[in-house]
Amino acid sequence: MTARPAAGFRDFLKMLLLLELWVGLWVTLKNQFRPHITVEYPRERVELSPRFRGVPRLRFHPENGEELCIACHLCETVCPDDCIHIVSEKKPDGKGKRLVSFEINYERCCFCGLCVDPCPTKPLTAIYMSHDYEMADFKREGFVAPLKVLLNGVDPKDYKE
């Protein structure tokens, strides 16, 4: 089956008149004078949705200021990526357990939020998905968050222009 001569002539005219180039230039010119929607990231920050899931963090108890985690290991058990590691010991008074260490490896974490759901502490869960999202680092050790970092958070990075 041979191509129709009209289609070949149309393609030749498109190539000769640079039609695709003019269409692209028209799109550029049309959008040149519209307001910009780009966010200049280090200087400007977008407002995060309340449902945004950043990195998992731990809470302090609102009444006594101690860590809220009761070392039940449920978040460690339910984590699909096995990124949470908890070490606990019995309390000196013999009732319950207390945390020795609590680490989350953010390199392995998929930020799914499944660790928040089984937490038995009421009315607040001990672990929650924070609005922290700046985690860039040059070394792998920076992605393993120990108990102190999980409770207090990471200092915000100051970007100089």
Write phi, then psi, for 59 (nearest 5 degrees): -105, 155
pLDDT given at position 96:
87
User: 7-16, 56-65, 110-119, 146-155: which range is least confident on average?
Assistant: 7-16
Q: Give the CATH number of domain 56-152.
A: 3.30.70.3270
pLDDT of residue 160: 61
Classify residue 82 by its DSSP letter: -
Question: Which are the contacts of 45, defined by CB distance < 8 A and separation ≥ 6?
Answer: 39
Question: By the 8 A CB rule, do 69 and 160 touch?
Answer: no
Regarding pTM above 0.75, the answer is: no
User: b/e for 43-58, b at 16 or more Cβ within 10 A?
Assistant: eeeeeeeeeebebbbb
Q: Domain locations in the chain?
A: 56-152
pLDDT above 70 as % of the chain: 93
- Nearest-angstrom CA–CA distance, 103 and 149: 9
